[in-house]
Amino acid sequence: MKIITLLALFSALGGCATMSEQARVTEVAWQTLNAVDIGQTVTISREPTHWHETNPGLCAIATSHPDTGKVYSVMIGDAVLHYAVTRLLDNQDHGAGAWHVANMAWQSVTLGEKTYNVVHNFDVGLKPWAGRSDLYRSRQ
């Protein structure tokens, strides 16, 4: 499934070529962090007795102990949706006005939220796509 995640990431990034430089940079950053977040969430699904999902958005759809298939489908869907909204806002943004404010808010809030999630996950010991042996080794 790592391959599917990477293919989804590269597909989204390929479409970034026609975006403004700012949108392209923030979208690449967000998509990269999302790939790491997917891996961390897969670790949660592999070790439900040790970890649980706390992201309210994902819990509403997939529960606090999501199965791996649900993690991939929800989070890759989120990646596609994020790309589509970013592209829409970037196409409407002409450097001023309400579309510009909406675009800057979207990029700032979503990148900030994704960064917080990934950093928090690392802080509590979550590694992307960690197997059970990795988890037990990190506890010693």
Strands (E), 22-132: none
Distance, CA of 117 to CA of 110 (rounded, Å) = 11
Q: Which of 68, 80, 74 is nearest to 31 (CA)?
A: 80
Determine the pLDDT at residue 134: 56
Determine the pLDDT at residue 133: 56
> How confident is the prediction along the chain (140 residues), in pLDDT tens digits per residue?
556 555 655 555 555 668 899 999 999 999 999 999 999 988 888 887 777 777 777 666 666 677 888 889 889 999 999 999 999 999 999 889 999 999 999 999 999 999 999 999 999 988 898 876 555 445 44
Contact at 8 Å (CB) between 9 and 79? yes
Q: Tokens at residue 140, please?
A: 């010693």
Per-domain residue ranges of the chain: 2-139
